[in-house]
Amino acid sequence: MTTRRQVLASGAAAMAALAWDQTNQEWLTAANASTIAKDAPGVVPVPPQIRDRLVTDAASLAAAADDFGHIVSRTPWAVFRAESTSDIATLIRWANKVGLSVAARGQAHAVLGEGQVEGGVIIDMNGLSTIHDIGEDYAVVDAGVKWSDLLVAAGERGLTPLVLTDYLELSIGGVLAVGGIGGNMNQVGMVVDNVDALTVVTGKGQINRNISPTRKSALFDASLGGLGQAAIITQAQVRLGPAPALVRIYELTYSNVADFAADQRTLVTDARFGYHEGQVVADGAGGWQFKIEVGAYYTPPTTPDDETLLAGLSPDLGTTTTDFPYAVWLGRVGFAEVQLRAAGLWDTPHPWSDLFLDDDSLEDYVTNVMLPLLSPAGIGAGLVLLYPFRTSLLERPLARVPDGEIAWAFDILRFPFDPSLTDTLLAENRELYEGAVSRDGTFYPVGALDTTPAEWEAHYGTVYSVLIDAKRRHDPNNILTPGQGINPT
């Protein structure tokens, strides 16, 4: 005898889901409707207006059970191909009724299942893909749009987002949910600091349009860097500014952390460069070098004054200077993606580590925690970012960084050649995290770090109430984004 579960697995489940059977935890479709009464207890009809967008075929579920990390896999009951804010509101209200968890999925570049939901519904944000308006200094854009698409549209008007992540094939909503760091952070703060309004759907399924620092500010604060806990972001008003034509990138290389850190502090304090990052690189002889990577944006006939820009800096291993068209520079990780895909390293496990370090203990951390744990095998074809930024530019409470005037972003973007290293590297991530936290550091919640609810609470510290109060008020059934593992009580 064929069970309903077998009917579902056979592919018949690709038919529209008519109702959810809470007792048997399965969909009622045209294929199996005859075996169960539509009005049986626990059978909750899917609202007709969203039925066609709820897909349950095996291929869609398998895709939604994976992400860029390729480390954890949780299979949902359905994927909801949202096309509008009101679609999402309808879906979430219905999910509350049937008791299914939901999470938004942008470009699925999370590394540890943060956007996955075991036995729930994944909201595929790709259908919210409209750039609604581009003004002189802002864009109003759907959360499913990729930053690369916004950059192109803004660029046609000579504009650019003020701060971007290094990689642009991420969704607007996915980056706003985590914070967004990049080379312009030392000029204007994180990506979330450059958003003036949002439209969100709360965990109760309520639509809140145009929330801002002055309108429903608690929900605004809880949404930016809020890891999808209180609400799903569906639209954002993002700040834009004039796009330069070119950028001159200077790479300054150091043999030791002391000189590197001293020059980084000079540069981050006087903020003389528009773009400012840095790296730790293997020297090929078993040791490490430190590289400052800074950039001056310009549009001819104006050109950067190299002598003034490099004054007072002392890289003992030399300086290189390269000019790039602005768009080419911003597309650099996209170009690397092509090579990594060709090398078969894009679809392998990526146990990334992402932390923020306290400035006072930077040299201690680098010497006693970071360098002993770093290995070329653990980085593979990836890289290690290490650069400071001014914390005074950061205004959104849930984007947690260390308290001092300067904090450091430290990210190991691992593309290991040997996937069997994954467990070892996850354990190293924990050591790196514990070493950072014991030195007043924090973590950036995009890394492969399995964090306990108590660690989350400690992470948020004095602003935990911003998250928890909003969660209790706007997602009282705790159905939103369980993959983050925050599990507030």
Ligand X SMILES: Cc1cc2nc3c(=O)[nH]c(=O)nc-3n(C[C@H](O)[C@H](O)[C@H](O)COP(=O)(O)OP(=O)(O)OC[C@H]3O[C@@H](n4cnc5c(N)ncnc54)[C@H](O)[C@@H]3O)c2cc1C
Residues in contact with ligand X by CB under 6 A are 67-68, 103-110, 114-115, 125, 143, 165-167, 170-171, 173-175, 177-178, 180-182, 227-228, 232-233, 446, 481, 483-484
Tokens representing 397? 């409470």
Pairing between β-strand 246-254 and β-strand 207-211 as defined by DSSP bridges: unpaired
Closer by beta carbon to ligand X, 140 or else 170:
170
Minimum separation from the CB atom of position 192 to ligand X (A)? 10
Minimum separation from the CB atom of position 198 to ligand X (A)? 9
Closer by beta carbon to ligand X, 31 or else 50:
50
Tokens representing 160? 């650019």
Minimum separation from the CB atom of position 185 to ligand X (A)? 9
Sequence-separated (6 or more) residues with CB below 8 Å from residue 373: 428, 431, 432
Closer by beta carbon to ligand X, 144 or else 241:
144
Minimum separation from the CB atom of position 197 to ligand X (A)? 15
Closer by beta carbon to ligand X, 184 or else 253:
184
Closer by beta carbon to ligand X, 12 or else 162:
162
Closer by beta carbon to ligand X, 13 or else 329:
329
Minimum separation from the CB atom of position 403 to ligand X (A)? 20
Closest to 486 measured CA to CA, from 17, 476, 460:
460
Minimum separation from the CB atom of position 139 to ligand X (A)? 16
Closest to 33 measured CA to CA, from 60, 59, 51, 50:
51
What is the dihedral sign for C-alpha 224, 399, 74, 374?
Answer: positive
Minimum separation from the CB atom of position 376 to ligand X (A)? 20
Closer by beta carbon to ligand X, 79 or else 108:
108
Minimum separation from the CB atom of position 181 to ligand X (A)? 4
How large is the angle between the packed helices 453-460 and 464-474, nearest 10 degrees?
120
Q: What share of the chain is helix, strand, coil (3-state, %, to 5)?
A: 35, 25, 40
Cβ atoms of 429 and 449 within 8 Å: the answer is yes
Number of neighbouring beta carbons within 10 Å of residue 431: 13
The sheet with strand 43-45 has its strands ordered as 26-29, 17-21, 43-45
Minimum separation from the CB atom of position 155 to ligand X (A)? 19
Closer by beta carbon to ligand X, 32 or else 235:
235
Number of neighbouring beta carbons within 10 Å of residue 61: 17
Q: In sequence order, which ranges of 28-124 are alpha helices (DSSP H)?
A: 48-51, 58-64, 85-98
Cβ atoms of 435 and 367 within 8 Å: the answer is no
Is the preceding omega at residue 402 within 30 degrees of 0, hence cis? no
Closer by beta carbon to ligand X, 134 or else 385:
385
